[in-house]
A and B are shown apart, each in its own frame.
Chain A
Amino acid sequence: MSTLHTEEMTLNMGPQHPSTHGVLRFVVRADGEVMREAIPDVGYLHRSIEKIAEKVGYHGFMPYTDRVDYVCAMFTNQGWGMACEKLANIEVPHRGEYCRVIAAEFNRIASHLLSVGAMAMDIGAVTPFTHAIREREMINDLIEELCGARLTFNYMRIGGVAWDLPPGWREKALAYLDHFDPILEEYNALISWNKIYIERLANVGVITPAEAINYNLVGPNLRACGIKWDIRKDIPYSVYPEFEFDVPIGDGHWGKLGDSMDRYVVRIREMAESSKILRQALQKIPGGPVLAKVARNFKPPKGECQIRLESGRGDMGWYVVSDGTGYPWRVHVRTGSFAAMGIIQKLSAGLMIADLVTLIASLDVIAPEIDR
């Protein structure tokens, strides 16, 4: 007696699919609604940024770093700045570090807002996305006043930042933070604690702590699995030791530890923590210069260095090899999204097609950061 034969369906999701956050592609093998496997296909947004660095010199590469991750470009700016400073032993003025932290934390809020908004959009709620974008827009307005650009900031320089805070900016930023905290609560009431939303996210794409470490997840994705690892706390850089803030971790309150809801809630809580850091930084900012003296013809000594920082998508690494000339010999960027893409194939087995969208959104993968 022969069993009933059913065929698997191979679906091509992307690169022009509405919810793949840019140009990602998945080859989905599905049995009806249930996926057997989703194989990520990366490389649609490769722009050889690392190679460009070898051609444009140290100062000239700064605007290109914006394009590594255009959703939180401040961190890539800062990463490149920190790498070059470590290479040439330059000390950034104290006020310069504060400016960096302020800009970066604002950018972290903007990045997480986009992430949680897009996540709600992927799950079918249209309103939270525009609300998140509206708040992000105000941060963009602030940053625009600070550095003249809204997305590709090019705000930082090797040895500090290019612009000091403009007059009156501090008060504006503090006023925004007063507005932001209630908005976050309203956003939670609108979508985060919605029963349908929780049902969609809880117990979906569960990552165990061991898996998270093995697959090299970083940032909010790692913290959602209950591992307290934040570069800002554990390998302190810049002036982060001067601030008091918590590192939110997932607690499995809504389902299993390390599910999509945990990743989502960690991001929401991180925004509140960033707001806390910003308040302290804006209150405590010291006087003085913001930019160290760096030669226009910047030639770091021969050598190599590796720095790590906590970007919006987690532990970002910059590795630079200098051969003593005005151009780096090799630059490598280690980004969180690329590692996160790797675990999708494993997690996707047994999920539904609708869950794949949730999973991509909850891992917060940003297409330019995957390919660079």
Chain B
Amino acid sequence: MDTLVQNLIASGAFGKNASPSMVAALVVFIMSAVVFLGVAFPFAGIVSWAERRVWARIQSRVGPNRVGPQGFLQWLADGVKHVCKEDIIPDESDAPLFKMAPYLVMLAFTLPWAVMPFSSSLILADLNVGILYMTSVTALTVVAVLMAGWASNDKWSLIGGIRSAAQIVSYEIPAGLSIFPVVLMTGTLSMQGIIRAQGWAPQHWFLFANPFTFVAANILYISALAEGNRTPFDLPEAESELVAGFATEYSGMRYLFFFMAEWGNLFIIGAIIATLFLGGWQFPHVTKNVIAMNILQAITFNVKVLFLVFVSMWIRATLPRVRIDQLMTLCWKYFVPISFVNMIGTAVWVAIWPDGNSLMGYIMLAAAIALAAVFTQRVIYYLRRSRMEVYFNPTI
């Protein structure tokens, strides 16, 4: 960063008396604009399209396929539609809070991108408290959702907002506790530091480092889904109970902000898991070229994240919603105790094998492959049992 700023000043693009700090600020602005406008927002849109397509296939439907190739530009059409809609602010609402809530949601959604480790060099700021920063800024959502629910002055919205607050605050605890095993093993909170401690091969990932981290990864993923208001934990916007929850009174662009943040959060959830447990951008050293290497790493990272995003869509299409008391039971009676066990177990593990047990990596990997094989066998079983030829509709 410093050399870049020095070079820019030396090139004379900003005049002779340009202050280095101002130039640095400008560079950061431009870079963040590129990341948000070029990556974060389109990603949220594309995920909305992808999710609808994935759902549609699982539900024997076609899904949006009219706008652009395979309906790929559907998200743009939806975005334009929402921007053009009337922005309704209810008379009885608390207007300033009502207006502010969507921006706060967007803030909570954009801040984590600062520490997103796309590759070994592509990261806006490799904070030494990276993962802690990530979890804390995503929790800003709770303020925004509570604000939206309260300011709407609608009972359904209020229930939605309060549910959301209870849910996010509760699930912060198992999520935080599930990060500790990794921190214990690496001794750092930096995103890049955690990734560098892992290898490119699956047996060197923290997911397979020991049984405790495997469980921790699953708990962290489920808790992150709960924090992101995803099925089976989409109670704050439970459509069949609360109409649209905290978003009931919103329309147009403001409504879009809530859902853009929800879909965009999927990337952040995936990125946290991929960084902590799936080896992040780690890729074998195939070339000396730094740029080529960075591109390969970025692709690896994105593939891992997108796979996790797909899994969350798949879960959403499969599972029903839990009830609020069951949500709390799951958190406090199951996830929190198990997370503590994980933490202590990992601490003991690290005390016994300070450099990790490489044999365990292979055993865990083999077990995971066996699980995947059983799963594939079940999928094939269901595929074989389907008799699609009975469909009477001659137009198919």
Contact = CB atoms under 8 A, between A and B. Distances in A.
Q: Do chains A and B touch in the complex (CB under 8 A)?
A: yes
B240 A199 contact: no
B392 A142 contact: yes
Interface string B158-196: 010011000000000000000000000000000000000
B380 to A, nearest CB: 13
A11 interface: yes
Contact of A127 (B59, B243, B322, B387): B59
A113 to B, nearest CB: 14
A315 B241 CA distance: 30
Interface string A338-372: 00000000000000111101000000000000000
A45 interface: no
B217 to A, nearest CB: 21
B76 interface: no
A17 interface: yes
A130 B323 contact: no
A141 B392 contact: yes
A194 B4 CA distance: 56
Contacts of B316: 126
A172 interface: yes
Contact of B323 (A131, A141, A354): A354
B333 interface: no
Given A18-B240, A124-B240, A141 B320 contact: no
A352 B325 contact: yes
A196 B320 contact: yes
Interface string B69-82: 00000000000000
Interface in B218-255: 231-232, 234-235, 238-243
A235 interface: no
A298 interface: no
B359 interface: no
Contacts of B392: 138, 141-142, 145, 172, 176
Interface in A158-203: 172, 175-176, 178-179, 182-183, 185-186, 189-191, 194, 196-197, 199-200
Given A141-B393, A179-B387, A120 B59 contact: no
A51 interface: no
Interface residues of A, number: 45
Contacts of A183: 386
Contact of B240 (A33, A122, A131, A138): A122
A88 B262 CA distance: 65
Contacts of A122: 240
Contacts of A32: 162
B318 interface: yes
Contact of B322 (A120, A126, A189, A200): A200
Nearest to A20: B240
A183 B326 CA distance: 30
Contacts of A335: none
Nearest to B378: A189
17 contacts: A17-B243, A18-B243, A33-B324, A124-B319, A126-B59, A126-B316, A131-B59, A137-B393, A141-B392, A142-B392, A145-B392, A178-B387, A194-B319, A196-B326, A352-B323, A352-B324, A357-B240
Interface of B: 55, 58-61, 155-156, 159, 162-163, 231-232, 234-235, 238-243, 316-326, 382, 385-387, 390-393
Among all A-B residue pairs, the 4 with the closest Cβ atoms: A124-B321, A130-B59, A19-B240, A125-B320
Given A131-B59, A141-B392, 11 more contacts: A33-B325, A124-B320, A127-B55, A127-B317, A142-B392, A183-B386, A189-B382, A196-B320, A196-B321, A355-B323, A357-B241
